[in-house]
């Protein structure tokens, strides 16, 4: 039987494209985000194009932490079981430090770090009960080096990556895999206002690579793998003056 996956932030960008990619591969899908109407449209498009075994949708704000813990088992029941939970929902607000942007920074940590942690915690509870599972989280190459005008974003993604490493160790021998993805620039509404997007790939290509990495159950990977696996290491070595111009 084809696997089933819950994707947070499935109404746009990577989450939406991955839903189409995995539907084509025959997965059952549970799609959540804050935009119920968009999710219903996506469900109809997916059913018309690929007719996967099941597509369930549900409104979920990942910062409504109590609701995250209700949504995971609810979606599992809707699909007759879940194999993969992908904590993908995220925001990038371009916050600047010392310029009255603290509210943006707070929101960024709430969605990208705490919202993802709630999703992972709820998934772990479900998978521990079930005896198996696969948790996937979207970090970013911004986790490799704190980026200007994205301080909270970088912190949220570095925090999530370390959190997922810890979760992997804590769930070792529990038959639960943990994958951390570090995308570079994938063309989505999150970043399409930026002037400079090095090594940009289309969202369809990004979704295809992510689907392959999920199916291989890699522990961690940049997206695309090359050149970001090399550039990511170099980013850690660049002088502050170079990073400051980015
Ligand atoms: N695109 C890139 O180059 C890139 C690079 C590195 C990492 N990432 C990460 O990849 C993930 C997806 O980003 P994207 O590029 O696909 O951006 P996107 O097109 O803006 O999509 C973001 C998704 O997150 C959802 N979301 C935002 N706030 C939410 C909340 N409070 N509760 C639930 N869902 C929420 C949005 O849905 P609703 O508005 O419907 O709730 C939307 O579906 C993010 O974590 C992002 O940081 C992206």
Q: Looking at residue 1, what is its pLDDT?
A: 77
Where b means 16+ CB within 10 Å and e means fewer, 79-107 reads: beebbbbbbbbbbbbebeeeeebeebbeb
Q: Which two tokens stand for residue 230?
A: 């090399």
pLDDT reading at 180 higher than 90: yes
Q: Looking at residue 195, what is its pLDDT?
A: 87
Separation of 111 CA from ligand 1 center, angstroms? 9
> pLDDT grade, residue 2 (50/70/90)?
confident
| pTM greater than 0.85 | yes
pLDDT tens by residue, 34-76: 999 999 999 999 999 999 999 999 999 999 999 999 999 999 9
- Is 185 considered catalytic here? no
Separation of 190 CA from ligand 1 center, angstroms? 7
**DSSP labels, 52-119:** -S-EEEEE--TT-HHHHHHHHHHHHHHHT--SEEEE---------TTTT-HHHHHHHIIIIIIIHHHH
Cα 244 → chain centroid: 27
**How many residues in the chain?**
246
Residues above pLDDT 70, as percent of the chain? 100
Cα 98 → chain centroid: 29
Which CATH architecture group holds 4-244? 3-Layer(aba) Sandwich (3.40)
- Nearest Cα to 62, choosing from 140, 142, 131, 156? 156
Q: Which two tokens stand for residue 154?
A: 């970088």
- On the question of a cis peptide bond just before residue 91, with omega within 30 degrees of 0, the verdict is no
Rounded CA separation 163/67 (Å): 21
pLDDT tens by residue, 107-129: 999 999 999 999 999 999 999 99
Q: Which two tokens stand for residue 235?
A: 């980013």
Q: Looking at residue 246, what is its pLDDT?
A: 83
Give the pocket of ligand 1 (CB within 6 Å): 8-15, 33-35, 38, 60-63, 88-92, 111-112, 115, 138, 140, 183, 185-186, 188-191
Residue nearest to atom 28 of ligand 1 (CA): 90
pLDDT reading at 245 higher than 90: no
pLDDT tens by residue, 144-166: 999 999 999 999 999 999 999 99
């Amino acid at each position: 039987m084809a696997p089933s996956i819950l994707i947070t932030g499935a109404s746009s960008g990577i989450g939406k494209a991955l839903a189409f990619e995995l539907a084509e591969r025959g997965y059952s899908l549970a799609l959540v985000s804050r935009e119920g109407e968009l999710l219903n449209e996506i469900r109809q498009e997916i059913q018309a194009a690929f007719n996967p075994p099941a597509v369930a949708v549900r409104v979920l704000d990942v910062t409504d932490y109590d609701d995250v813990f209700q949504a995971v088992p609810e979606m599992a029941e809707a699909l007759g079981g879940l194999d993969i939970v992908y904590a993908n929902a995220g925001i990038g607000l371009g916050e600047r430090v010392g310029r009255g942007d603290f509210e943006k920074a707070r929101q960024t940590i709430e969605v990208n770090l705490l919202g993802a942690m709630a999703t992972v915690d709820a998934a772990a509870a479900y998978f521990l009960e079930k005896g198996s599972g696969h948790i996937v989280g979207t970090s970013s190459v911004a986790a490799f080096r704190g980026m200007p005008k994205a301080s909270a974003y970088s912190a949220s993604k570095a925090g999530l990556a370390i959190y997922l490493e810890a979760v992997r160790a804590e769930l070792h021998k529990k038959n639960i895999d943990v994958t951390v993805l570090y995308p570079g620039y994938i063309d989505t509404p999150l970043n399409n206002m930026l002037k400079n997007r090095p090594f940009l790939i289309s969202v369809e290509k990004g979704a295809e690579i992510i689907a392959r990495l999920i199916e291989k159950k890699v522990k961690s990977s940049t997206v695309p793998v090359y050149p970001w696996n090399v550039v990511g290491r170099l980013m850690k070595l660049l002088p502050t003056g170079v990073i400051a111009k980015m």
